Amino acid sequence: MVHWLQHETGGLLLLCAVSIAVLLFLIIKVKLEPFIALIVSSLALALAAGLSVEQIVGTALSSKTSLLETGFGGILGHIAPIVGLGTILGAILERSGGADVLTRRLLSVAGERGAPLAMGLAGLIFGIPVFFDVGIFVLAPLVYITARQGGRSLVLYAMPLLAGLSMTHAFLPPHPGPVAAGGLLGVPLGWLIVLGLVCGIPAFLVAGVAWGAWIGKRVFIEVPDEYIAAEREKEERRGEDPKVDAGKAPETAAPEPSLALVGLIIAVPLVLILLATFSTVWWEDSPALPTLTFLGNPVVALTIAVLLAMYLLGIRRGIPAAELSDLATKSLQPIGMILLVVGGGALFGAVVSATGVGKALAGTLADAGLPVIVLAYLIACGLRLAQGSATVAIVTTGGIVAPLVQGEHHSHAHLALIAIAISAGSIIASHVNDGGFWIISRYFNMSVRDTLRTWTVLETILSVVGFAMAGGLSIFI
């Protein structure tokens, strides 16, 4: 009997390993879309483990919900509105010129000596509501200006900025990765915000500020020639036509928003979510608890923030409602595939749970004495290194780890730390199979070798320090 159980456990773990290998093969070698690859590997695992057709896809005669439906529907119902609203909020902040206002104010306060730190703080703050690549597109020109004025390497200013953008993208809602990890593990977003900051800020300081300052003095990258040529052309046009406003984009007639207004719009959803999360502890018997719970629901809080942004940053400043509607529509177009990948990862996790792989893995971990948080980090690292996508690494790892924590009575704080460990593993060692690697190489005028020496090391430091913080705190929480 014991031998049979050991054989069953070994067989289940082998099936899981083979399904992950199939997933990686389809993504890396076949070049299949991750969303489709996740469906194929999930269905293959379910069939190989002996699940019935009714369990997997349902039948016309059955009223039971299939794995295909629960896997996709459960997680997408949680994250789709959050990611969608966060994306619209970021688009409005970008369109309003909030990034320019924020960065210029930080640079004026910090001065030339503190300019790298100012760029890092700009990435950290502006990175909360906007996607990583959008943050680069918007803020890269400000890095060029600062580097050109200071006569120093682009690396010195780009590394802190990238660390800030990457940290918020990996560790903080409303970004898809942490929201998906939180949804899979059942973590309230308030805990993810608090512990994401606690683990992420030290990682940002070590990777962005300390490493950025060190490597920025050793790798000299000049401002791209195309940018210098474009700036000269602008200056010549201004000389010919004094009516041209040097400080304003041609299509933007609205006045700049104030720094306080930009900060308010970013802070509103975070504060509401935090109040809802912790009000059950602080004000358990308060009559205000239902109101705080409603306003602090992530969807409600982000809806409030979006409406405020539309009015205060848009309509009140002369941007037509039709233009804001068009902006929202365009901003949502890139997230379709992200949501499908998250849904595919959730399906994989549902199959892992239904096949019993989760229980088998939990038993193996208990025998080996390996904490779940360490396993979560290592799996995410392996998936990231193999196929490059942080989102795929997060949702696949979350699907594997979720069954391990079910019924274990972990606190929300501990589950949040496991989610952060997964997110930390998903960003390690960005290299040539990661689209972000090439964006940074292009935008900051770096060769492959220099990008590996700067950005790849930065991401690794961010990952290791973030995980070290999460792992250390998990001992006490």
Query: pLDDT digits over 274-315, tens only?
Result: 998 888 767 766 788 889 899 999 999 999 999 999 999 999
The answer to whether 368 touches 378, Cβ cutoff 8 Å, is: no
User: What's the rounded Cα separation, in Å, for the pair 352 and 347?
Assistant: 9
Is residue 122 pLDDT above 80, yes or no? yes
User: What's the rounded Cα separation, in Å, for the pair 301 and 305?
Assistant: 6
User: What's the rounded Cα separation, in Å, for the pair 33 and 23?
Assistant: 10
Q: How confident is the model at residue 237, as a pLDDT?
A: 55
Residue 302 makes CB contacts below 8 A (sequence gap 6+) with 81, 82, 85, 86, 89, 174, 269
Query: pLDDT digits over 138-152, tens only?
Result: 888 889 988 888 889
Q: pTM for the whole thing?
A: 0.86
Is residue 233 pLDDT above 50, yes or no? yes
Query: pLDDT digits over 345-400, tens only?
Result: 888 888 887 887 777 777 776 677 789 999 999 999 998 998 888 888 998 899 88
DSSP, collapsed to helix, strand or coil, labels residue 230 as helix
> Per-domain residue ranges for the chain?
2-50+68-241+259-476
Q: How confident is the model at residue 3, as a pLDDT?
A: 39
% of the chain with per-residue pLDDT over 70: 89
Query: pLDDT digits over 47-63, tens only?
Result: 888 888 888 887 655 55
DSSP 335: G
Q: What angle do CA 66, 68, 73 make, to 5 degrees?
A: 100
Query: pLDDT digits over 100-120, tens only?
Result: 888 888 888 888 889 999 999
The answer to whether 462 touches 203, Cβ cutoff 8 Å, is: yes
Instruction: Look over the chain and give the mean of its residue pLDDT values, rounded to a whole number.
Output: 85
